[in-house]
Amino acid sequence: MIDAGTEFGPGTAYGNALIKCGETQKRIGTADRELIQTAALNFLTPLRNFIEGDYKTIAKERKLLQNKRLDLDAAKTRLKKAKAAETRASSEQELRITQSEFDRQAEITRLLLEGISSTHAHHLRCLNDFVEAQMTYYAQCYQYMLDLQKQLGSFPSSYHSNNNQTSVVPVPSASSNVIGSSAMTSSGLVMTSPSNLIDLKEGSGSRKARVLYDYDAANSSELSLLADEVITVFSVVGMDSDWLMGERGNQKGRVPITYLELLN
């Protein structure tokens, strides 16, 4: 957008609007990268570390506890089946060992599981930080687009309704010598109609006029304009009141009066 706006020309309404849009998109991109970095640092990294670290350790110890419980159950079963005194004594010794190992592993697992409570509290805070970062991101994007909308609304442009073609331009300043007087429409835009153009149309001869905005000719009967250039304009009998005949060197064609400012 910025490159295209530069090609069109920063001095043109469309080129300037493209540049403004491009700059806003860059600001949104910066905010997006900041959100990604914040989410990675404050939420994703702690969560990943827990899953790949503490969680794996807990899962491993729980599996060991399950194996110790199976060993303990097997030792109890062998003790019940022991008939001879020697075999029973050996089974009792095995049971004491497996019970001790089970108890030790159960204590390790219990301590690890108790630590999950504090881990959950920590990750809950991380999740809150992530949500707040998202809220900040969307608030920034909304403000950026709101500012862009206001900037685009201040640019001069021509709008065409579906029923009748009506030229609209921003409100000229009170001190401006822009051709035509202004009337506010229901949409908040300004429709320009001729006023001090009467002198030019009733009199003979021509006047110098400064071009306010770039204008691309729609056909061969019109003259393309560049903002801030000075051209010669004169009226032609029977021509639409919204147009004048413009002349620049050997080039001649119709020009819209709303794009001109008569010079003394």
Best CATH choice for the domain 1-154 from the list 2.40.70.10, 3.40.50.720, 3.40.630.30, 1.20.1270.60? 1.20.1270.60
CA proximity to 212, closest of 173, 251, 184: 173
pTM: 0.44
- Give the pLDDT confidence score for residue 155 in this predicted structure: 63
* pLDDT one-digit tens code per residue, 73-87: 998 998 888 888 888
Class of the domain covering 207-262:
mainly beta
What backbone torsions phi and psi does residue 144 show, to the nearest 5 degrees?
-60, -45
- Give the pLDDT confidence score for residue 246 in this predicted structure: 94
What backbone torsions phi and psi does residue 43 show, to the nearest 5 degrees?
-130, -55
- Give the pLDDT confidence score for residue 111 in this predicted structure: 87
Task: State the amino acid at position 236 in one-letter form.
Answer: V
* pLDDT one-digit tens code per residue, 109-125: 888 888 777 788 888 88
Other C-beta atoms closer than 10 Å to the C-beta of 118 total 9
* pLDDT one-digit tens code per residue, 241-262: 888 999 999 999 999 998 899 8
- Give the pLDDT confidence score for residue 86 in this predicted structure: 80
- Give the pLDDT confidence score for residue 50 in this predicted structure: 85
* pLDDT one-digit tens code per residue, 118-146: 788 888 888 998 999 999 999 999 999 99
What backbone torsions phi and psi does residue 217 show, to the nearest 5 degrees?
-60, 135
Where do the domains of the chain lie?
Answer: 1-154, 207-262
